Amino acid sequence: MFVGPSGQTVAVVSEDRWKAVISGEAPLDWELWASPITHSRVLTPEGKATVRGAVETITEFFGADWLSKFAAADRRRAIAARLPLLSTYWWPINDTVHVYWRILELAARLSLLRTSSGFAQVRKDMRGDLGHFAHGLLQLEVGALALRSGWTVRLEPVPRPGAKTDLFLSRDADAMFVEAKDFQLDAQAVTNLDAARRVQDNFLNLSIQHSVYFEGDFDIGENPAVLDEWLLDIARQAADTAATQTPRTRDAPSGGQLRIAPGMAPDGIGWSVPVRRGDEWRRIRSAIANKAEQARGDAPLWLRFDETSQFWLLSARPEEHLDWLRQLANGIAYCLSGLPHVAGLVLSSAPASQVGSLSAETQLLDSRATHLVTPVRSPFVREFLIVANPAGSAGDQAEAWLQWYRPEGEWLSWALDVQGYPPLEKLFLTVSA
């Protein structure tokens, strides 16, 4: 047995091989990466065989040395955290339905699009640069969804001499170029969120250890060394609070106060810290202008942007979310109105976990903007904002995007069927996460 990097205990091909990879004495290969599939508790025998076949398709696409190349021991800290296939969302060491669903989905998209024009260029980009991984996934996603609706897909087309864009989609007399972009949180926000999670983890451990609770609104600042020292002091204060059963109040590194009290927190009592973020709207506005110019051609252009889930969650309180979406749609429409060759923009969140109903919900915000929430795989949903250019006439194409993404969670079932694979209910012992 072996305890993986996320705490899972799994049986593997060779414990010694895992230890060698962790110590940097041996490279990580696809066989070892996929070894937990053999002992999966959520896959049927048919499911294990099908997922292993999917891994072979992915291995062929990326190349035998791709994992070792980007998870090399000498740059493990810098690269491993950014290599999605080593995350709990992709790695079979996390034995859950949604992991295998992603693997099957990627392999199906690679298989169905491999004869499309430009596929070799996408493979070259994703093989050669880890920064192309998320972007390539987005290209494949759009192409595969359009393919199901009967559109012909060309990857990396040339809209005009000397230019290049991500996709050209056509069906009968209809056609569009698509320029895709995946956003990441800015460095400032990532640093602040990481620090906030450290505080949260420390407080949780101290609450369990000493039976105390924390309350207050305070600022932890941006200096890691200062935060380290403050957290050590808070640990001492929590122990003293438990021993004396007397509440204590401490100043925070950059303002505000934290109160430590014995016992369980009363209802409604908690703590919060500010998360500094960059100007996301400025980044979106800049990307609209840059991508619009880059992909100008003789067919309407759609921009397909994929934002982080944090962008959507941090932008407004739940009760204000639709108002915020309308404001965002108005801003996007204003930018698009000065770009007559751009038909519209499709903006989505990264998949986020949701408790409760997983049915698709569509809401028309105004005559040009639609809000869509759709399940992609249990328990994950995605949120979309589809905005047509008010200066254009792309209503039918906007509806096409809705037709592609509203049933996104059904795409894998369709793809398995057209390729002759067993249906999902034959692959999984359960279809929940």
pLDDT exceeds 70 at position 186 = no
Rounded to an integer, the average pLDDT of 406-420 is 96
CA of 358: how far to CAs of 100, 182, 263, 370, in Å? 19, 24, 37, 19
Percent pLDDT > 70 in the chain is 85
- At residue 74, the pLDDT reads 44
- At residue 5, the pLDDT reads 37
**Window from 83-92, 234-243, 410-419 with minimum mean pLDDT:** 83-92
Give yes or no for a contact between 303 and 346, defined as CB atoms under 8 angstroms apart: yes
CA of 54: how far to CAs of 86, 142, 195, 378, 420, in Å? 17, 20, 37, 20, 13
pLDDT exceeds 90 at position 238 = yes
pLDDT exceeds 70 at position 224 = yes
Give yes or no for a contact between 326 and 367, defined as CB atoms under 8 angstroms apart: no
**263-322 confidence digits (pLDDT tens):** 988 877 878 777 655 567 788 888 899 898 888 888 999 999 998 766 776 555 667 788
Q: pLDDT-based confidence at 80, cuts 50/70/90?
A: very low
pLDDT exceeds 50 at position 6 = no
Rounded to an integer, the average pLDDT of 182-210 is 76
Give yes or no for a contact between 147 and 141, defined as CB atoms under 8 angstroms apart: no
- At residue 394, the pLDDT reads 63
**125-181 confidence digits (pLDDT tens):** 999 888 889 999 999 999 999 999 999 999 999 888 878 899 999 999 999 999 999
pLDDT exceeds 70 at position 432 = no
- At residue 357, the pLDDT reads 58
- pTM here is 0.77
Rounded to whole angstroms, the Cα distance separating 346 from 324 reads 16
pLDDT exceeds 60 at position 51 = yes
Q: pLDDT-based confidence at 7, cuts 50/70/90?
A: very low
Tokens of 28: 């990580």
On average, the pLDDT of the chain sits at 85
What H or E segment, with its residue span, contains residue 188? helix 187-210
Per the model's pLDDT, the better-predicted residue between 357 and 397 turns out to be: 397
- What is the residue-wise DSSP string for 9-76? EE--S-HHHHHHHHHTSS---HHHHHGGGGG-SSB-HHHHHHHHHHHHHHHHHH-TTHHHHHS-GGGH
User: How far does CA 227 lie from the centroid of its chain?
Assistant: 29
Q: Phi first, then psi: give them for residue 184, nearest 5 degrees.
A: -120, 155
- At residue 14, the pLDDT reads 62
Give yes or no for a contact between 309 and 352, defined as CB atoms under 8 angstroms apart: yes
pLDDT exceeds 90 at position 81 = no
Rounded to whole angstroms, the Cα distance separating 39 from 344 reads 46
Rounded to an integer, the average pLDDT of 231-257 is 93
Q: What is the sign, positive or negative, of the torsion defined by CA atoms of 144, 148, 149, 154?
A: positive
Give yes or no for a contact between 178 and 141, defined as CB atoms under 8 angstroms apart: no
Helix axes 280-294, 321-337, angle to 10 degrees: 30
Percent pLDDT > 90 in the chain is 52
